[in-house]
Amino acid sequence: MNTTRVLAITSAVAALSLSQAGLASAQIRWGHGATPRSGACFYEDSNFQGRYFCVGSGESMATLPNGMGDKISSIRTFGGAEVMVFRDRDFRGASTRFGGDTDNLKRRGWNDTISSIRIGGGGVFGGGDQAREREHDRGQGGYGAILPQWGHGPMTRNGACFFEDSNYRGRYFCVERGDSLRSLPAGFNDRISSIRLFGRNVEIYVNDDFHGKSRRLNHDTPNLGSSWGDKISSVRVF
């Protein structure tokens, strides 16, 4: 096969791929239609209210169409699907994984901030190399994929919750499996007194960026005591 023909075929394939990507984006519309057997639906309002659009498992959107980017407030998953969301187009910037329904993205620091998405089946975005890649993609600055908020909302089903007081009392924030916080923001640093786990493990560090003294937990801890109470500065959940 000569070089000219190879170039022509390559160009045709590239053009077809771009055409299909554009068609996929064009077919996505806010509405109230059918939901997928396996995939995820993205809602304009919290608590799965208002208009929504759905994406099937195995699909991705490098750029959300006009009128959809940065306008998602809740996510519902179907058929064991998992969702990776990114703050920037082309799967760049801060990212996080949602392994189930999320009725209020504001509690997770993701309300109206999603620009690109990937949908996988159950376990597709699990631990190991993929988890390390996600952490690398988040970059060196900021808080990682999530911004914690003290509150009393729904707890995670696949991660850990960090409580301001001992015996799981007072306000708390939760972190999903595979997420990490390199540096707890003001109002959270050195304020954790108890930790509840939901089928996961946690590593806690006395300093930012996972430095200094550390401890791994694989069970609920109602009282971190004088050694760790109010002394945590960064965390990993896996």
Residue-range definition of the domain harbouring residue 186: 159-237
Chain-centre distance for alpha carbon 203: 19
- How many domains, the chain? 2
- Cβ atoms within 10 Å, residue 65: 16
Looking at the domain assignment, is residue 10 inside a domain?
no
For residue 17, pLDDT over 90 is answered with no
Confidence of residue 121 (pLDDT cuts 50, 70, 90): low
Average pLDDT over residues 53-78: 87
Looking at the domain assignment, is residue 8 inside a domain?
no
pTM above 0.75, yes or no: no
Cα 37 to Cα 80: distance, rounded to the nearest angstrom: 9
Whether residue 181 sits in one domain with residue 111: no
Average pLDDT over residues 154-182: 87
- Judged by average pLDDT, the poorest of 26-35, 48-57, 87-96, 194-203 is 26-35
164 closest CA partner among 234, 224, 107, 205: 224
For residue 206, pLDDT over 80 is answered with yes
Looking at 125, 140, 172, the residue that finishes a domain is 125
Q: Pick 220 or 157 by higher pLDDT.
A: 220
- DSSP class per residue in 191-203: ---EEEEES--EE
Residue 72: which CATH number? 2.60.20.10
Looking at the domain assignment, is residue 173 inside a domain?
yes
Reading the block at residue 83, the tokens are 């969702």
Looking at the domain assignment, is residue 13 inside a domain?
no
Looking at the domain assignment, is residue 216 inside a domain?
yes
Looking at the domain assignment, is residue 86 inside a domain?
yes
Q: Pick 216 or 29 by higher pLDDT.
A: 216
Whether residue 109 sits in one domain with residue 41: yes
**Which tens digits make up the pLDDT trace of 225-238?**
888 988 888 888 88
For the chain, the 3-state helix, strand and coil shares in percent, each to the nearest 5, are: 25, 35, 45
Confidence of residue 216 (pLDDT cuts 50, 70, 90): very high
115 closest CA partner among 130, 134, 101, 94: 94
Average pLDDT over residues 138-155: 59
Cα 235 to Cα 181: distance, rounded to the nearest angstrom: 5
Give the pLDDT confidence score for residue 15 in this predicted structure: 42
Give the pLDDT confidence score for residue 24 in this predicted structure: 45
The answer to whether residues 184 and 144 touch, using CB atoms and an 8 Å cutoff, is no
Cα 138 to Cα 180: distance, rounded to the nearest angstrom: 10
For residue 115, pLDDT over 60 is answered with yes
Average pLDDT over residues 141-157: 66
